[in-house]
């Protein structure tokens, strides 16, 4: 991946180089090189140590967009100490001891259900002499579908689509999904007990809420059936009868809740966050500083409607150019997090594409003060349901009132991708092998 190779200006080159540095820093190979090692029988994971000789078996399970890379790194470190394994991802690699199985995102699929059965089988056979290394990375909520009793795949698919279109935050979406699955919301840990479970987490969730990353398969669930029903009511969602009936039966106490804090299910579970959004932001900042820019990280926790968040980011750039506050130009202003899109049209797009197109509309005022380039990507290489990572725009992307009007119309139709593609702004990386949320870089200069 060499995003900066075709940059038309030095500002574009800098913005794209920062993106590339951030994505590379969050790649499993790089992350596990510094956080995982084997010393004799001792497996070091971050600051913890696990004596492999204390277990009869070691199995690896899990899923998500970064699961293939994590599995490959685990095989390099542990080799034949791994007895069996299976991870589910949309871009499977190959493994000698860990099966790489296919699934789909953002809507679960039949092949994902079939692949997840292998994970369930391995976990169900674990006992107190088993060490379970659980790979938990963003995207596993869709990639690891294990429908609860009475829920069909089509029920999950329709519910997921309605949630995605609603603009619901990820914690709200997962409150629903956790109560429709046998693995989410601590379900995998409950199935694995009394095995020792060590979760290796790549977080794509603002604030690293472990109950939200991949819908928290190995951690206590603080949400309830009532919370799930509240989400449906808040967004006035029409869902399949089986879904609503299950949630209502659960709220009435007729179904077992997901395991909560203090449940003995988690007595032998430990969790390690190995990479998150700040991993990428920190590396992007280092790259900007190496290139001589003053830098500012606005936040790693930006959320809300993508098009509105973009206005704030551009406004900070305007302030830098107008008043040299909070930085002297040339400067780089970075942010991360997870914005959302409320779908009202039927176009092609995603949060980063809408972020970039909204920024392009705003950049016309920035252009009266100087020059600016804004690049926004999903670090997994796929923004929303598209096959592109995001886009890069500048003060000259939209010229004149007609082009700005066309961009606003595209935003109204949630059709950012074709509009940005028409202007040559789209960033295509292919699957990056990681997933630590969105990364955005704004480069501003007066010259």
> Both 15 and 69 in a single domain?
no
Same domain, 416 and 386: yes
Q: How far apart are CA 303 and CA 116, in angstroms?
A: 30
Domain identity same for 209 and 232: yes
Domain boundary among 257, 276, 295: 276
Looking at residue 7, its pLDDT comes to 79
257 and 304 assigned to the same domain: no
pLDDT bucket at 406, cuts 50 / 70 / 90: very high
| Confidence (pLDDT) at 90 | 85
Kindly state whether residues 257 and 309 are assigned to the same domain: no
**Which band of pLDDT confidence, cut at 50, 70 and 90, is reported for residue 197?**
very high
Q: Are residues 394 and 305 in the same domain?
A: yes
- Put the strands of the sheet holding 57-63 in their side by side order: 99-102, 84-89, 57-63, 130-137, 196-202, 269-275
Q: Per residue in 91-141, pLDDT tens?
A: 888 899 999 999 999 999 999 999 999 999 999 999 999 999 999 999 999
Distance between CA 203 and CA 140 in Å, rounded?
Answer: 11
What is the average pLDDT across 316-337? 96
Task: Mark whether 8 and 77 lie in a shared domain.
Answer: no
Sign (positive or negative) of CA dihedral 352, 358, 363, 365: negative
* pLDDT of 426 strictly over 90: yes
pLDDT exceeds 70 at position 418: yes
CATH code of the domain in which 305 resides: 3.40.1480.10
**pLDDT for 431:** 92
Which domain covers residue 33, as residue numbers?
Answer: 28-276
Same domain, 295 and 182: no
β-strands 390-394, 196-202 pairing: unpaired
Q: Which residue has the tokens 């095989």?
A: 75
Predicted confidence band of residue 24 (pLDDT cuts 50, 70, 90): very high
Judge if 234 and 285 occupy the same domain.
Answer: no
User: What does the pLDDT average to over 63-82?
Assistant: 96
Confidence of residue 4 (pLDDT cuts 50, 70, 90): low
Question: Residue 129 sits in a domain of what CATH number?
Answer: 3.40.50.10180
Residue 365: the pLDDT is: 80
Paired tokens of 57: 């078996």
Q: How many domains does the chain have?
A: 2
Q: Mark whether 86 and 200 lie in a shared domain.
A: yes
pLDDT attached to residue 2:
60
- Final residue before a domain boundary, out of 276, 310, 330: 276
Average pLDDT over residues 149-174: 95
The reported pLDDT for the residue numbered 1 is 61
- Which of 239, 261, 276 terminates a domain? The answer is 276
Shared domain check, 285 and 272: no
Give pLDDT, residue 366: 84
Residues 331 and 360 in one domain: yes
pLDDT of residue 5: 60
What is the chain's mean pLDDT, rounded?
95
Chain centroid to CA 288: how far? Answer: 23
pLDDT band at 63 (very low <50, low <70, confident <90, very high): very high
- Put residue 98 in one of left, alpha, beta given phi > 0 → left and psi -120 to 50 → alpha: beta
């Amino acid at each position: 991946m060499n995003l900066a190779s075709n940059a038309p200006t030095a500002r574009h080159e800098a913005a794209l180089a920062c993106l590339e540095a951030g994505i590379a820093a969050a790649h499993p190979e790089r992350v596990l090189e510094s956080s995982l090692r084997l010393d004799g029988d001792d497996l070091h994971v971050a600051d913890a140590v696990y004596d492999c000789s204390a277990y009869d078996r070691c199995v690896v399970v899990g899923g998500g967009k970064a699961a293939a890379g994590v599995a490959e790194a685990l095989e390099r470190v542990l080799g034949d100490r791994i007895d069996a394994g299976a991870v589910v991802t949309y871009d499977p690699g190959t493994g000698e001891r860990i099966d790489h199985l296919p699934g789909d995102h953002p809507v679960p699929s039949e092949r994902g259900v079939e692949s997840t059965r292998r994970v369930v089988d391995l976990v169900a056979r674990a006992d107190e002499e088993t060490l379970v290394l659980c790979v938990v990375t963003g995207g596993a909520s869709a990639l690891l579908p294990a429908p609860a009793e009475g829920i069909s795949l089509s029920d999950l698919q329709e519910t997921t689509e309605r949630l995605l279109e609603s603009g619901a935050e990820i914690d709200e979406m997962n409150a629903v999904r956790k109560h429709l699955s046998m693995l989410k919301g601590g379900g995998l840990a409950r199935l694995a007990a009394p095995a020792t479970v060590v979760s290796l987490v790549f977080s794509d969730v603002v604030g690293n809420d472990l109950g939200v990353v991949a819908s928290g398969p190995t951690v206590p669930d603080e949400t309830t059936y009532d919370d799930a029903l509240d989400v449906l009511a808040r967004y006035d969602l029409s869902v399949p009868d089986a879904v609503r009936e299950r949630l209502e039966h659960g709220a009435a106490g007729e179904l077992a809740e997901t395991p909560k804090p203090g449940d003995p299910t988690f007595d032998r579970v430990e969790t390690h966050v190995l990479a998150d959004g700040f991993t990428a932001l920190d590396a992007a900042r280092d790259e900007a500083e190496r290139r001589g820019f003053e830098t500012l990280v606005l936040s790693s926790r930006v959320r809300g409607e993508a098009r509105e968040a973009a206005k704030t980011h551009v406004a900070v750039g305007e302030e830098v150019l107008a008043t040299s506050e909070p930085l002297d130009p040339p400067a780089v202003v970075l942010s991360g997090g997870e914005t959302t899109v409320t779908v009202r049209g039927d176009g092609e797009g995603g949060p980063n594409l809408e972020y970039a197109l909204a920024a392009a509309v705003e950049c016309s005022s920035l252009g009266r003060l100087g020059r600016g380039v804004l690049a926004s990507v999903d670090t997994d290489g796929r923004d929303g349901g598209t096959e592109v990572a995001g886009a890069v725009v500048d003060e000259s992307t939209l010229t004149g009132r007609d082009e700005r009007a066309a961009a606003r119309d595209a935003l109204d139709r949630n059709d950012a991708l074709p509009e940005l593609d028409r202007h040559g702004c789209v960033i295509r990386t292919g699957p990056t092998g990681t997933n630590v949320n969105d990364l955005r870089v704004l480069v501003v200069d007066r010259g």
